[in-house]
Structures are given as structure tokens and as C-alpha cells.
Amino acid sequence: MAIQKEQDVVPFRNRVKEYAVKIGMSLVNQTKLITAASELVRNMLKYANGGYTLIEIVSKGRENGIRLSFVDKGPGIKDIQLAMKDGYSTAKSLGLGLPGAKRLVSEFDIRSSEKGTTVTITKWKNG
Amino acid sequence: MGKFLLVTIQVDLYDRLALNLESDLVQMVNKTGARGVLIDISALSIVDSFMGRIIGNIGSMSKIMDAETVVVGIQPAVAITLVELGLELKGVSTALNVEKGMALLRRKIGSFEDTQEEEHDDNSVE
Amino acid sequence: MEKYFHVAGSLCQPHFAATKKRFAITPFVLYLGNLNYIYMKVDISKVLQKRKKQILELWMKNQLANETLREDLMSNDELRIQSEELLDALVNAVNDRNLADAQSGDFDTVIEILSGISISRARQGYSPRETGVYIFSLREALLQTLQDELKNDAVTLLALTMKVNKLIDSFGVNTFETFIKGREEVILRQTDEITEISTPVTRLWDGILALPIIGTLDSARTQVVMENLLQEIVETGSSIAILDISGVPAVDSLVAQHLIKTISATRLMGAECIISGIRPEIAQTVVHLGIDLSNIITKATLASALKHAFGMLQLEVRKSVKEKTSL
């Protein structure tokens, strides 16, 4: 799903919600996942002028979950460690986006180079 | 001249819209000379850091214009997510529902115990 | 090569059918060793079909003779029906090619039935040994029957015995896997139940909720506690929640963090949170660990927390002339 402008965010969130409901995720976990997704999509729009996202249903043993990938072709993040720190922001925002998103999901993976950034998050149904 | 402003956010806002809300609301506080702002977000299923910041901003802006802000109707799931996210909504008070929010505002503003006319500014989005 | 022999096998079959036993020991067959192999496999399914009744009887006899039989958990009739179903599936699935290959898709039904049986046995409280006896006594019955059938052909009997052994072994492994899975499910369900039971939210007064926390607070538990508490706050419209931690064995920085999270979430909802039941040793560890609880209302006992809550709601408890206590 391509994210080009702010208006794409709400449909994207709804799509994530659909998937979360489909695997029977609890409301709290749904909310956490969607909030994390919202943070990451916002980053993509703000720093990389958009990109595309991928929603997948994954399973590990008996546990189902949702994996979201956010791929952009922006300038990349220079210092990932610093970006993952609470309260650090290059854009005068709260600096909660990346670290907050990480706290909200079960698994968090970020890769970045000059060619762009890919963030993959996974939220298990019960976790 | 309303004493309180009541804002009901009914749909999930995207960023530009939220920014508009912020500036509109501050204008409104100025225009009406309201002493209290009540933001009802019970219909919001998601409050992310941006939305949280907007709410915080409205709180701080109203504060320096001498108006109290109370946010009401935060969903349990949203509250848990906000805490996990590390967002505390500093500077705004919260209440369970509009009724309790009103009571809280009245207590905060205190002495002015006269009749309240509420200004409705339902922010429904097309 | 394979193909050729299959063709040969099917070509020969009608001809050999009548002289099955004799054929198995003719020198001609020994010479065509591979052909014999195919012939033998055809044999097994037929033997099993023919002797199904006998196998079942033997199997039942074995099971009933075994001292681990649990008549208290399942009647013999039920056991017979269950065993017959499994045997039917097995006999239908076995054919000339798959005998030695339990992974073959042909056994899916058998494995499915077997899994069903072992999961239900795990739930009913059978021991692993009892479940093991069930499947392994089938081997005995099968082998006994084969022995009976192939008394005159030691070579084939040996080969078949090996294969049946292998097949039953892999069924056995499968049985244990599913048996353990069944047990794990029981454990998981119980864990869930304990988590649910151990976080009761009670209404102490109109607008005051109490949540006694008993046991260790880990993050999964905190999540449940938080959810229950917040949900209850919304439902009852309460403005004060008392978290009683006298049943929490220890408060370390992680537990404290969980508590603080719960309190922050409660505050976001617009309710106030009081922590009660701070025992002296908890007070000590909290201070030693440098945990800051200063912006949280803490009380030593639930009673004083309730008193504080009454104060916040501007309620008064008075001794009345007629009644014991009332508002």
C-alpha cells in the first residue's frame, strides 16, 4: 500500500485494523499496533515524502501476529541508536515516534542507509 | 459569551486537520473569552504522539490565555497505549466523561459559579 | 527401475493371488528378489483387511490385560469404538508402498485420529504411560497377527516386522508430541484462568474501586490488571481506584515501573489512583532501589486508603445512633 500524502494515513490505519480484527487481536493490542503504525507512517511522510507499506499475517507456532513493513527511499537515518532514544528528534517533535513505536510492538527491526529506511514491526496476537 | 468550549472530536484526524483544530480552537478561546476548554476524544480509537502533542499544545496555549483544558473520554486501550508510548499529556487534566469534565472545570475555575452556556464546536469532518 | 517393478507387480498380481503362499517360497521369487518385495507389500494390506477383526480383538485384549487400563476414565465399550476407528483408518491407509513411511500423506487420517485421541487423553488426565500403552499394544496385536499369518516365511515376517515397528514407533512419537501439546494447552488455559481470577476488581463504594493484587506482577499480568481496571473504571464511572499490593511478594524496580504505568493510565482516564498495602519491607526496598513514588498517593492499609478516598469524594463515615455505620 502506497503512502504519498497525509490523507493516506487514515485508510492505512483502517486496513491494519481489519487485519488485526481478522486474527482476533485484543482491542488493546490492536490499538498499540495501530498507534505504532501511525508513528512510523508519519515518519515516512515527514522525512522521506512517503513510501510504501506491507501488511502481512504471520504465525510462529500457535501464535498469530501481524507484521508491518514500512519502506521508504528517503535520506536514511544517520545514527539509529540516537534516533531510538527517547526525546531525541531532529524535527522539534516529541521524539517519541521510533522508541515509542518500539515499546508498543513485540518485535522491531530497523535498517537504514542513504538509499532509504525500512522498518519492520511485528505484534503477536497475545503480546 | 460562553464560559466553556466543548470540542468533540468524532473521527480519527489526520495531521493537517489536527493542526487546523489547534489553531481554530485557540482562536475560539480568544474570541469567546472562554475560561475552560473541554475536549471529548471518546470517539478516537488512536492517539499517537502527534495527536498527543496537539492536545498538549492546546492545553499549554489555553493556559497562557487563562483557560483550563480538560480532556475527557480517553478509551482504556488508548490510555494504555499512551502510557506505553511514553506520552503523559502534561498540562492537561483528564476526566472520565463530559459530565465529570464539566464538574472538574467548574471546580478549577472556582469562584465563577454562574450559569454556564456551552459553546458547541463539533468538529465533525466531512 | 521402480516403474518397471510396479508394472510387473500389477501384472503378476492376478496370477499370483491364488497361489500367494506358495509363491512366496518358490526359488523363482527368490531369484527375482525385488519383485518379491512388491508382492510382500501388497500382502500386508490384504492381511490386515482380512484379519482386522482378529487384530482388534488382540489389541483390546492387550489393552484390557494391561494394568494401566483406566476404566475410571473410559468405559471398555468406548475404548473399543475408539480403537476400532483408529484401526479402520490404519488398515485403509496402509498399502503396498507406504508401510515403511509414516510421513506419507496416506496416513494423514490415521495421524489425525491419533492426535485427537491423545489430545483428549491428555485433557482427561491420562498419564503418558497409559497413552503410550494404547498405541504400543497395537503393535503387539499387529505383530502377533503377522506372525500367525506368515509362520512359514521367516524372511518376509522379519522384514514386515521391522516395517510395522518403524511405523508404530513414528505413530508413538506423534502421539507423545500431541499428548504434550494437549497438556500444554491445559497449562496455558489454567495460566489464563489464574491471571483472570487473580485480578478481581471490586466496587468498594460508589465511585471507588479496589483491586487487590496477589502474586508477582510481570508485564503480562500488568497488562491484564490495567485492562480490567480501566474497563471497570469506565463501566462504573469511578473516579478513585485503590491498588492494594499487600499480596505482592516483592516490589523491584520493574514491578514499580508496572505500577507507575498503571497509575499513569488511570490518571489519563481521569481517575485517581491510591496504592495501599505497603508493607515495611516493601517500603525499604522501594527506598533502597531509589524508586520515586512521591507523586503517587500511598497508604499503609486498605482501610486508610479508603478513608483517604472518602475524603477526596467529600464523604464522611459517622457512627449513627440507630445503625452501626452509615454515611
Candidate from C237, C238, C268 with C-beta closest to B79: C268
pLDDT tens for chain A, residues 1 to 127: 777 777 788 888 888 888 888 888 888 888 889 988 888 888 888 888 878 888 988 888 778 889 998 888 878 777 777 777 777 776 666 667 788 888 888 888 888 888 888 889 998 887 6
The answer on pLDDT for C249 being more than 50 is yes
Percent of chain C with pLDDT over 70: 80
Angle, helices C76-93/C108-124, rounded to nearest 10 degrees: 160
Report the CATH number of the B4-110 domain: 3.30.750.24
Nearest to B76 among C230, C238, C267 (CB): C230
Question: Which residues from B are below 8 Å from A99, CB to CB?
Answer: 86
Greatest distance between any 2 Cα atoms in chain A: 42
Q: Which residues of B touch A9 (CB under 8 A)?
A: 14-15
Q: Give the right CATH number for A2-124 from 3.40.1390.20, 3.30.70.3340, 3.40.50.1370, 3.30.565.10.
A: 3.30.565.10
Q: What does the angle CA C114 – CA C119 – CA C121 come to, to the nearest 5 degrees?
A: 95
- Hey, which chains touch C, using 3+ CB pairs under 8 Å? A, B
Three-class SS state of C94: coil
Chains that touch A (3 or more CB pairs under 8 A): B, C
Taking contacts as CB-CB distances below 8 angstroms, the residues of chain C near A26 are 227
pLDDT of residue C33: 42
* pLDDT on residue C10: 41
CA distance C300 to B112: 38
H or E element that contains A118: strand A116-124
Beta partners for C298?
C275
Minimal-distance CA residue of chain C relative to A127: C220
**Which three three-digit cell numbers place residue C326?**
452509615
Amino acid at A49: N
Residues 6+ apart with CB under 8 A from C264: B83, B88
- 12-51 in B: which are within 8 Å (CB) of A? 12, 14-16, 45-50
Q: What is the average pLDDT value for chain C, to the nearest integer?
A: 76
A 57-96 near B (Cβ less than 8 A): 86, 93-94, 96
- Residue indicated by cell numbers 480519527: B12
pLDDT band for position C100 (50/70/90)? low
Nearest to C167 by CA among C116, C98, C117: C98
Taken in order of first residue, the domains within chain C and their CATH numbers are: 2-194 (1.10.490), 202-326 (3.30.750.24)
**H or E element in which residue C319 lies:** strand C318-319
Residue B56 confidence (pLDDT) above 70: yes
How close B104 gets to chain C, by Cα (Å)? 10
Distance from C-alpha of A84 to C-alpha of A99, rounded to nearest angstrom = 5
Assigned C-alpha cell, C259:
505500577
Parse chain B into domains and list their residue ranges.
4-110
Please name the member of B71, B83, B96 whose beta carbon is closest to the beta carbon of C265.
B83
> C270 and B89 in contact by Cβ < 8 A?
no
Q: Which of B82, B92, B16 is closest to B45 using CA atoms?
A: B82
Give the 3-state DSSP-derived string for C159-179, with helices as H, strands as E and coil as C.
HHHHHHHHHHHHHHHHHHHHH
pLDDT tens by residue, A61-90: 778 889 998 888 878 777 777 777 777 776
Chain B residues with CB-CB distance to A6 below 8 A: 14-16
Q: Domain-by-domain residue ranges, chain A?
A: 2-124
pLDDT tens string C169-187: 888 888 888 888 888 888 8
CA distance C139 to C54: 13
